[in-house]
Amino acid sequence: MRARVAGTTLHPVTGGSLTSWRDGDAKRAIVEFVEATVAEVPVEERVAVFDNDGTLWCEKPMPVQLDFILRRLVEMAEADEALRGRQPWKAAYQRDYGWFGAVMDAHYAGDDSDLGVLAAGVLAAHGGIDVEAFEAQADAFLRATQHPTLGRGYLETAYAPMLELLEYLTANSFSTYIVSGGGRDFMRPISQDVYGIPRERVIGSAISLGYENGTITRKPEPEFLADGAEKPIRIWSRIGRRPLLAAGNSNGDSAMLEFSQRTDRPSLSLLVLHDDAEREFAYTTGAAQALDQAARDDWTVVSVKDDWRTVF
Amino acid sequence: MRARVAGTTLHPVTGGSLTSWRDGDAKRAIVEFVEATVAEVPVEERVAVFDNDGTLWCEKPMPVQLDFILRRLVEMAEADEALRGRQPWKAAYQRDYGWFGAVMDAHYAGDDSDLGVLAAGVLAAHGGIDVEAFEAQADAFLRATQHPTLGRGYLETAYAPMLELLEYLTANSFSTYIVSGGGRDFMRPISQDVYGIPRERVIGSAISLGYENGTITRKPEPEFLADGAEKPIRIWSRIGRRPLLAAGNSNGDSAMLEFSQRTDRPSLSLLVLHDDAEREFAYTTGAAQALDQAARDDWTVVSVKDDWRTVF
């Protein structure tokens, strides 16, 4: 692989085995984008942002963090009988996972009528503890828990082709970031080990924090949900730059992919299409508008079935 | 200068001319802290945070950003006569700088009764424009404007000893951050050139942002004021680590300095004392409680008069 040298080459293209990617439009778009960037763009501007759930790792049958929260809700319901009749503790206690799925499907379809009920439970699940204690809980859960159906630990449900892409970008002096609708503080303890992304480059949803006498405590109130229009806002707040590459898989990622479409620089918007029921899961729920926009705006759609030689 | 090698040295101590620092307790504390850190602490944990106004650059007779805002308020009052009878436009239009000083002094003393009036004007001054346009305005102002009394441009009012400290820390693999009560987006365009701190490591106060069709726009509403207890909260939100070194100069920095006091790692809390009326300004308004806490908690007080050979 060689940089297309047009005038000054700022840095030679390196890395990029991408062996888990089949030859095709998606792989070609990635390599052409990286080569053009390396030829034209100063290192400090090479910013790439990635959604996490469904983009870097598996989000079915439920997002990893939802499993973490459900277990805590069950614990709470076991300790307090009154909670067993109230959502979302009731569904958690009865293992009625359909209720949670329906709330999330409705959310992605634009109906947030039950989201507040779910959110209140989610916020209560880990409210009132200090951030270092929360991190220890998240870390222990993530490193010890198996995915319910894939026969592997949660940390091994990261997609091999995306890990290669992250490595390829890093080798070419990109700064890679996670920009997730999931909780920022939930992912930070494992982001370096799993993705090679340091904790300070994890952007995600946040709950309000309080400070007193040297300790930072989680309050049971949201600060913001890093989804939809909030993704580009959080990217700007955190980085102060427009990214060159954005990757997502759902309607909640569209604004971020749109924000990263550049006319002044090489840019690439990647949308992962989950179409492989055999090796992973096949679904487009919550991705219909993003797929429409991909067709309209010439985003690169990555087919799990066709573009990935290996999934995990 | 040599690292105190106790067991494994992770990285040799380098840089650290610190020629603008006079020999004394402050310089000794800095060098001992850096040597201990380099001997004991992995690179990724070497985080140092700095307040900006009054810590990295001069904040008298008024904070640099206040000058930027005042000029915009005058412009607005010139364009709209009705504004000339309302604060803060009235004070700006009449060059009644005492009014602004009194509001800020009251704020640092814990009285925010007029802060809302000032804040509303501040928010209106640059509300409704997109973040890239705001950055261009801030950048042009900062690079072109002279300090009112020091006979130098605003960008040349950065303190030489603090620039040397930043360089010394960077040479020893610290990540340096600005954590300012001033506006994050105001400082970003010049942070690399003035301090060697890249824009993504500028943490500061933020106004609310909106996103639509690829553009991020400033709303005339605060998101948060990064002062007092909000400083450690913003450090955690942004970095996900406790710093090892924190430097400030006012009561608004105390929580950050307190948060950075470590028992498990070498740590250093620096409080700049403005006691040099001849070379800079002498004042402790808004710093009394911080100075009390410095004495109580063994923070290192840096005297401009005694510890700095050169100020600018």
The answer on pLDDT for B3 being more than 70 is: no
Chain B: residue nearest A207 by CA?
B237
Q: How many CB atoms lie within 10 A of CB B2?
A: 8
pLDDT tens digit string along B63-92? 999 999 999 999 999 999 999 999 999 999
Nearby residues of A48 by Cβ (< 8 Å), 6 or more positions away: A169, A174, A175, A176, A177, A243, A244, A245, A246, A247
β-partners of residue A216 are: A211
Chain A: residue nearest B223 by CA?
A223
Question: Residue B209 is nearest to which of A202, A206, A233, comparing CB atoms?
Answer: A233
Look up residue B56 and give its two tokens.
């990295």
A-chain residues near B261 (CB < 8 A): 214
| pLDDT-derived band at B9, boundaries 50, 70, 90 | very low
pLDDT at B16: 65
pLDDT at B15: 62
ipTM of the complex: 0.92
pLDDT at A297: 96
Whole-number Cα distances in Å, B113 to B107, B117, B118, B274:
8, 8, 10, 27
A-chain residues near B255 (CB < 8 A): 211
> What integer is the mean pLDDT of B222-230?
95
B-chain residues near A178 (CB < 8 A): none
The answer on pLDDT for B5 being more than 60 is: no
pLDDT at A108: 76
Q: What is the DSSP string of A273-307?
A: EEE-TTTS-EE-TTTHHHHHHHHHHT-EEEEHHHH
Q: Strand, coil or helix: what is B5?
A: coil
pLDDT at B4: 39
pLDDT tens digit string along B239-271? 999 999 999 999 999 999 999 999 999 999 999
- The answer to whether B211 contacts A230, with C-beta atoms less than 8 Å apart, is yes
In whole angstroms, what is the distance from residue B98 CA to residue B90 CA? 12
pLDDT at A9: 44
Chain A: residue nearest B218 by CA?
A233
Nearby residues of A128 by Cβ (< 8 Å), 6 or more positions away: A217, A218, A219, A220
Whole-number Cα distances in Å, B11 to A286, B40, B49, B303:
49, 9, 21, 30
Q: Name the strand (E) or helix (H) holding B241.
A: none
Question: Residue B209 is nearest to which of A202, A214, A236, comparing CB atoms?
Answer: A236
Alpha carbon of A52: minimum distance to chain B alpha carbons (Å): 18
The answer on pLDDT for B45 being more than 70 is: yes
B-chain residues near A225 (CB < 8 A): none
The answer on pLDDT for B13 being more than 70 is: no
Alpha carbon of B214: minimum distance to chain A alpha carbons (Å): 5
The answer on pLDDT for B7 being more than 80 is: no
Look up residue A272 and give its two tokens.
């992962």
- The answer to whether B233 contacts A210, with C-beta atoms less than 8 Å apart, is yes
- The answer to whether A211 contacts B188, with C-beta atoms less than 8 Å apart, is no
Q: Strand, coil or helix: what is B247?
A: strand
Average pLDDT, chain B: 93
In whole angstroms, what is the distance from residue A37 CA to residue A4 CA? 10
- The answer to whether A236 contacts B199, with C-beta atoms less than 8 Å apart, is no
Question: Residue B240 is nearest to which of A199, A239, A240, comparing CB atoms?
Answer: A199
Task: Spell out, as residue ranges, where chain A has pLDDT lower than 50.
Answer: 1-9
pLDDT at A5: 38
| pLDDT-derived band at B12, boundaries 50, 70, 90 | low
Q: Strand, coil or helix: what is A88?
A: coil
- The answer to whether B199 contacts A233, with C-beta atoms less than 8 Å apart, is no
Share of chain B above pLDDT 90, in %: 82
Interface test with A, best of B187, B205, B237, B265 (most A CBs within 10 A): B237
Query: What are the backbone dihedrals phi and psi of residue A220, each rounded to the nearest 5 degrees, phi first?
Result: -80, 50
pLDDT tens digit string along A179-191? 999 999 999 999 9
A-chain residues near B192 (CB < 8 A): 44
Q: Write the Ramachandran bin of B18: left for phi over 0, alpha for psi from -120 to 50, otherwise beta.
A: left
pLDDT tens digit string along B187-209? 999 999 999 999 999 999 999 99
Chain A: residue nearest B228 by CA?
A211
Interface test with A, best of B184, B205, B216, B231 (most A CBs within 10 A): B216
In whole angstroms, what is the distance from residue A169 CA to residue A256 CA? 18
Alpha carbon of B230: minimum distance to chain A alpha carbons (Å): 7
**pTM score > 0.90 for this model?**
yes
Share of chain B above pLDDT 70, in %: 95
In whole angstroms, what is the distance from residue A280 CA to residue A234 CA? 30
Question: Residue A198 is nearest to which of B44, B236, B259, comparing CB atoms?
Answer: B44
The answer on pLDDT for B37 being more than 70 is: yes
- The answer to whether B229 contacts A212, with C-beta atoms less than 8 Å apart, is yes
- The answer to whether B240 contacts A202, with C-beta atoms less than 8 Å apart, is yes
pLDDT at B206: 95
Query: What are the backbone dihedrals phi and psi of residue A10, each rounded to the nearest 5 degrees, phi first?
Result: -80, -20
- The answer to whether A214 contacts B258, with C-beta atoms less than 8 Å apart, is yes
A-chain residues near B210 (CB < 8 A): 229, 233
Alpha carbon of A5: minimum distance to chain B alpha carbons (Å): 28
> What integer is the mean pLDDT of B137-143?
97
Q: What is the DSSP string of A90-106?
A: HHHHTT-HHHHHHHHHH
pLDDT at B113: 86
- The answer to whether A259 contacts B210, with C-beta atoms less than 8 Å apart, is no
